[in-house]
Amino acid sequence: MTPRQVGRAFVGLLLALLVAMLSSTIVSNALPTILADLDGSQSQYTWVITATLLASTASTPIWGKLSDLFSKKMLYQLSIVIFTAGSVLGGIAQSMPELIAFRAVQGLGLGGMQALVQVVIAAMISPRERGRYSGYIGAVMALATVAGPLLGGLIVDSPLGWRWTFWVTVPVAVVAFIVLGKTLHLPVFKKQVKIDWMGATLLVGGVSLLLIWVSLAGGSFAWWSWSTLFYVLGGLVALALAVFVETKVADPVVPLRLFRNRTFTLAVIGSLSVGTAMFGGAVFLGQYYQLARGYSPTHAGLMTIPMMLGLFLSSTIAGQVISRTGKTKSWMVGGAVLLVASLFLLSTIDHQTNLVLMGGYLALLGLGVGALMQNLVLVVQNTVSMKDMGSSSSVVTFFRTLGGSAGVSALGALLAAKVSSHVSSALSAMGIEAGASGAGSSLNLAALPEPFQSIVRAAYGDSIGSVFLAGGIIAIATLIAVLFIKEVPLRRSIDLTENAEAAPVTGSAIHGVVSGPSGRPLAGAALTLTDSSGQQVARTLTAADGTYRLPAPPDAIYLLITSAARFQPSAVMVTVSGQPVRRDIEMSGAGGVSGVVRARGGQPVGGATLVLTDDRGEVVASAVTGGDGWYHFDDVPGGAYTLTVTAAGHQPAAVPLTTTEGEEATQDVELGLTARLGGVVRAGRFDRPVAEAQVTLLDEHGEVVAMTLTDEAGRYTFTDLPAGDYTIVTSGYAPVATPLEVVAGTPLSRDVELTHPR
């Protein structure tokens, strides 16, 4: 795709991403109103969010794997259609169970839209340039994170009502669908594949059971109960079976070999708490500002602007700088430090915390999330090949969303327990039995008497700190993970020839064998090792047995370039640390055919025309010999061919030959000489030439070889005649038959005398 095409398609992707992110945040400020209208409870409040996150989380790796097998454009448009259907249905829900179900449909589409945006961008843009585009993605996420609650609040406070929080994204989704349909042009590589439905089912089932357990435990049933045993044991067994299946199938949904990639594994760990901070912050902050501080949905959205500004600035600036420098680690470490610090600072808030101080904490949270979120995906994409781009990107997104799903569920359960405890304590202090007031279960504060409203507001405000404290503890894992991610400069190419960390990648030297397609070792192949800046580190030639060895300083990633005559150059990424790295290279490429065309006497034949045809009769190549009789065909694939040679004064020849992929075939051709026969037909009495007399040439078996008419001077000519005995038959007067012998390579003249006039 051209830069202009990439830019237009990227606009469509940003529109789709904006819609996807808005769906996760626009409802947060509207939820108190929605639950009051549909008579919902705190557990259902959490489930409206969790249903979407659960569906998107479980489907994310499946979308990613499908993108490695089928058209990315078609899959992205399909995810938009599913998301739009869920949005329309969510707006017409008449009860909480209906709303939760339609939010799950939204989540299925959301999973594809969030996972595939990174995959599509990776197919268009190199990792080095992707840093800049990731900044734009982070900016859109920042906009959606804060604009969503603000827009949701405005809609709820307007005559439109809360249902339009679902419908407002539909027109944008339709526009994104149309824009991508017209501008996104990616190559489609059709593969004969068998989708791992068993692994996908087990993965979705296992994750779903565990997320449902986290969501319901402590509310619908106790943490230590038979229900807990069912969900936890069932989820773990399903995931264990999924791992077993993934090791046996040819195309697993989640290729487990990716976890041998250190960068990939650490990025997965880091993504978990980022998801918890991003989704949890958006969900519970809206509830805090409305229930604990008494602000309207619109004002609650405005209160999260500092977080949006921080996320916008860090993601945009980081993206621009990373594209120029190619380095990401310092940004990720800095982001992780800010994430941990901001969450611990937010853990100190209560229902009376100064709002300016809270704004500062939220700005730090936004700065941390913005510097981390997209870069965790980017560093993974930089170390995997295009064939694994969909799976690897979606798995990182999967764990980020999993962190959000589990985080919202677990933190929601923690918040509900804390609120219930605070309310019970306050009511007990007033001499009122908690269960009789209903204050702990309903989120419709307007339905409660004024004294109880104050108790519930204080309970929510004083409980929210424990949510951020738990998030801060989880975020420490992100800080540790990014500290151990190795700095790998972002490459400028879209794809790797080979996964940089798919094979053992340690050592102070690189060695192996270079061979052709047939497995035959190649001697004299040139190998060049370059570092991340393109500087040559070492160079060598393969030995007679195809072996090579290159010294390489440890703790770095190198580009190993191999070239050999008649073969396509090869380039692979190799990571070197503490032990020798073996990297065998198999070269691919077409061979050639060459030789000399000679006459039977051994003299080279210049100007001979050679035509090479395959076993279907198709012309593969043609050539003309030089004065030395030599010819050569380049880039001839391995197979069976017929070589046909023609030359003036020589008999045509056709010889079969077989070529081997990547090897040079030699085929000399010998051509037999031909003779020329000519003369004059005369009338015997007047001894004058006879024009338009018919002259027929017969071979020794009486078969007609050629036929001609004499010219005005009575001349006739036969050319390219093989050696042998012939008979000339003339007519026009009484027929005359003249026997003669033709010697190859010797011109022969024979006049014919006709004895009778016409």
- pLDDT tens figures, 271-281: 877 777 666 66
Which pLDDT score is estimated for 625?
A: 92
| 554 vs 83, more confident | 83
| 33 vs 661, more confident | 33
Is pLDDT of 87 > 60?
Answer: yes
Is pLDDT of 142 > 70?
Answer: no
Q: Are strands 591-599 and 570-576 parallel, antiparallel or unpaired?
A: unpaired
Domain 591-671 bears CATH identifier 2.60.120.260: no
Is pLDDT of 743 > 70?
Answer: no
> What percent helix, strand, coil does the chain show, rounded to 5?
50, 20, 30
pLDDT category, 742, cuts 50, 70, 90? low
Residue by residue, DSSP assigns 43-99 as: HHHHHHHHHHHHHHHHHHHHHHHHHHHS-HHHHHHHHHHHHHHHHHHHHT--SHHHH
Q: What is the mean pLDDT of residues 557-574?
A: 82
The residue among 349, 262, 337 whose CA lies nearest residue 303 is 349
Helix or strand or coil: residue 429? helix
Q: What is the mean pLDDT of residues 164-185?
A: 86
Which pLDDT score is estimated for 438?
A: 45
Instruction: Say if residues 419 and 443 touch (Cβ distance below 8 Å).
Output: no
| 542 vs 250, more confident | 542
Which pLDDT score is estimated for 16?
A: 85
Which pLDDT score is estimated for 441?
A: 47
Residue by residue, DSSP assigns 27-56 as: TTTTHHHHHHHTT-BHHHHHHHHHHHHHHH
Instruction: Spell out the CATH class of 3-195+251-483.
Output: mainly alpha
Q: What is the mean pLDDT of residues 445-459?
A: 66
Q: What is the mean pLDDT of residues 442-459?
A: 63
H or E segment at 366?
helix 355-381
Could you tell me which CATH number the domain at 675-754 has?
2.60.40.1120
pLDDT category, 337, cuts 50, 70, 90? very high
User: To the nearest whole number, what is the mean pLDDT of the chain?
Assistant: 78
Which pLDDT score is estimated for 267?
A: 86
327 token code pair: 């380095």
Is pLDDT of 304 > 50?
Answer: yes
**pLDDT digits over 668-690, tens only?**
998 887 778 888 888 766 678 88
Which pLDDT score is estimated for 440?
A: 45
Q: What is the mean pLDDT of residues 23-33?
A: 75
Is pLDDT of 544 > 50?
Answer: yes
Is pLDDT of 507 > 80?
Answer: no
pLDDT category, 503, cuts 50, 70, 90? very low
Distance CA 112, CA 251 (A): 19
Instruction: Say if residues 734 and 690 touch (Cβ distance below 8 Å).
Output: no
| 508 vs 163, more confident | 163
Q: What is the mean pLDDT of residues 166-177?
A: 88
Is pLDDT of 493 > 60?
Answer: no
Is pLDDT of 623 > 70?
Answer: yes
pLDDT category, 407, cuts 50, 70, 90? confident
Q: What is the mean pLDDT of residues 89-112?
A: 87
Q: What is the mean pLDDT of residues 505-526?
A: 74
Is pLDDT of 190 > 60?
Answer: no
161 token code pair: 């009502």
Is pLDDT of 96 > 90?
Answer: no
Which pLDDT score is estimated for 643?
A: 92
Percentage above 90 pLDDT, the chain:
7
Q: What is the mean pLDDT of residues 462-469?
A: 83
Instruction: Say if residues 531 and 574 touch (Cβ distance below 8 Å).
Output: no
Is pLDDT of 56 > 90?
Answer: no
Looking at residue 678, what DSSP letter applies? E
Helix or strand or coil: residue 138? helix
Domain 509-585 bears CATH identifier 3.30.70.3280: no
Q: What is the mean pLDDT of residues 545-551?
A: 87
**pLDDT digits over 196-218, tens only?**
778 778 887 887 788 778 767 76
Is pLDDT of 181 > 50?
Answer: yes
Report the sign of the C-alpha dihedral through residues 234, 40, 92, 170, in that order: negative
Which pLDDT score is estimated for 736?
A: 65
H or E segment at 729?
strand 724-731
Highest mean pLDDT among 54-58, 187-191, 278-282: 54-58
Is pLDDT of 116 > 50?
Answer: yes
134 token code pair: 């990731």
Percentage above 70 pLDDT, the chain:
81
pLDDT category, 307, cuts 50, 70, 90? confident
Range of lowest pLDDT (52-56, 73-77, 656-660): 52-56
Looking at residue 647, what DSSP letter applies? -
Instruction: Return the number of other C-beta atoms located less than 10 Å from residue 718's C-beta.
Output: 20
